[in-house]
């Protein structure tokens, strides 16, 4: 019996030692990465054109990796966030809902710290933050939850034509349940008309849902003005801030926001965790999507994941702390990229230039198929639209809403710039885009006709 006990103790000690060493090694790697990124930010660009092989980040089991400019899809985890998460994957493994022993107490304490960090970014009360699996769940919970709770007396919802797919699909699902939905159009700049919004509000309107920063074109809607209109008419206001949280100034009280959807992996935090802000005063009532143990004020049952929650909290703390530096740095790179791309003939910036988040640049390259350009840019990770709809070959519904035709919508590329993007990478991308757009246009008979002065609108195309 004793030798067996001793063996088990020895095994447990070995596991703890391995976990500790692994955590130290990973932590040191994170420190090295952060130091490398900081150094890259400080160094000026050595040359305008970078050799092809230098476009890749590193060698890995996946082979050479391209420059990453798809920050709207997801951002890399900040090494400091990883450092915060590691203890919860090794020693602090208690269930935060276990209230009878120290293992639960210590993780619960850290979860509440993270909750406060997330709330501080938007000037909210920590008790108004409900942790979820991400912004899609938040949007579903907010829209369906409010509609179903108040559905006996209010049957109308207002949103826009350029919302994220999960918002539009939630609204369509509610239409099947008997609700009426008004989809507000946008102008060529991507902005809604506030007068149209106010006219659309009815006595039975329960919710207005408008995205703060569009995930495809980066257009910023006038959230404060929308909040003021909703408050005036006593209608709840929900905003999808997955692309806005921590990137533009947000204050839920000043902007009269009642519900806000937030995602961790858009702010250099881990995937699989998000938060829904739900106003307490005046109280917003929701019918929960997930029932169970009554966690998160009964609005979202299920055991929280402390590694993800605390990583999210640290990412929120960092993005608040480094807000000004990030804005200045991203703005500088964005201006350089935008001005260089628009210097090419037959290019168009999509969305409002004035009301726009700098980290999202959407440009159309006429007479070039967007998918062909992406294939020609295998050394750069880019997107032609939302990651949630990238499997579809249909042109972007967002660009259609702006008035773009199929050809122009198909020729659009989205560039995402973030905290870890370097100026050398932007220089390389500018050079690569100019070179390959020129090459692809030379293959296009339409471009050749335009060069010869032929007006394409006068041509009668014959079917075969």
Angle subtended at Cα 349 by Cα 348 and Cα 353, rounded to the nearest 5 degrees: 145
Give the whole-angstrom CA distance, residue 385 versus residue 368. 16
The contacts of residue 163 (CB under 8 Å, 6+ apart) are 209, 210, 211, 240
Residue 253 near residue 240, CB atoms below 8 Å: no
Catalytic site residue 206?
A: no
With tokens 């006709």, the residue in question is 449
Crossing angle of helices 306-321/102-120, nearest 10°? 30
Give the whole-angstrom CA distance, residue 345 versus residue 337. 15
* Six token digits for residue 183: 């989809």
Active-site option among 138, 241, 310, 388? 388
Could you list the active site residues? 388
């Amino acid at each position: 019996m004793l030798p067996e006990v001793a063996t088990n103790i020895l095994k447990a000690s070995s596991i703890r030692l391995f976990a500790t060493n692994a955590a130290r090694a990973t932590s040191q790697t994170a420190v090295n990465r952060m130091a490398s990124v900081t150094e890259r930010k400080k160094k000026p660009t050595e040359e305008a054109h970078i050799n092809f092989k230098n476009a890749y980040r590193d060698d890995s089991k996946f082979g050479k990796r391209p420059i990453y400019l798809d920050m709207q899809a997801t951002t890399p985890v900040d090494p400091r966030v990883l450092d915060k998460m590691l203890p919860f994957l090794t020693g602090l493994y208690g269930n935060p809902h276990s209230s009878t022993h120290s293992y639960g107490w210590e993780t619960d304490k850290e979860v509440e710290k993270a909750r406060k960090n997330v709330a501080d970014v938007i000037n909210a009360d920590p008790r108004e933050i409900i942790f979820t699996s991400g912004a899609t769940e938040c949007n579903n919970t907010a829209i369906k939850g409010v509609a179903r709770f108040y559905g006996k007396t209010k049957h109308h919802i207002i949103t826009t034509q350029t919302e994220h797919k999960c918002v539009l699909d939630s609204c369509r699902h509610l239409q099947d349940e008997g609700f009426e939905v008004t989809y507000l159009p946008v102008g060529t700049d991507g902005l809604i008309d506030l007068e149209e919004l106010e006219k659309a509000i009815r006595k039975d309107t329960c919710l207005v849902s408008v995205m703060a920063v569009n995930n495809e074109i980066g257009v910023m809607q006038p959230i404060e003005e929308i909040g003021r209109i909703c408050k005036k008419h006593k209608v709840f206001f929900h905003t999808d801030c997955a692309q806005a949280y921590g990137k533009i100034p947000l204050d839920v009280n000043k902007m009269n926001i009642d519900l806000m959807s937030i995602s961790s992996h858009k702010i250099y935090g881990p995937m699989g965790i998000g938060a829904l802000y739900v106003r307490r005063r005046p109280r917003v009532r929701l019918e929960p999507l997930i029932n169970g143990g009554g966690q998160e004020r009964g609005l979202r049952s299920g055991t929280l994941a402390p590694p993800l929650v605390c990583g999210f909290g640290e990412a929120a703390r960092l993005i608040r702390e480094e807000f000004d530096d990030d804005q200045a740095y991203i703005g500088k790179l964005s201006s350089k990229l935008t001005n260089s791309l628009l210097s090419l003939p037959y290019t168009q910036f999509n969305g409002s230039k004035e009301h726009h988040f700098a980290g999202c640049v959407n440009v159309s390259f006429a007479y070039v198929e967007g998918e062909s350009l992406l294939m020609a840019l295998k050394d750069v990770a880019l997107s032609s639209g939302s990651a949630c709809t990238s499997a579809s070959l249909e042109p972007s519904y967002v660009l259609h809403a702006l008035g773009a035709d199929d050809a122009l919508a198909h020729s659009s590329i989205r560039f995402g710039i973030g905290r870890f993007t370097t100026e050398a990478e932007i220089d390389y991308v500018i050079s690569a885009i100019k070179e390959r757009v020129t090459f692809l246009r030379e293959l296009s008979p339409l471009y050749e006709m335009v060069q010869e002065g032929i007006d394409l609108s006068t041509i009668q195309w014959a079917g075969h």
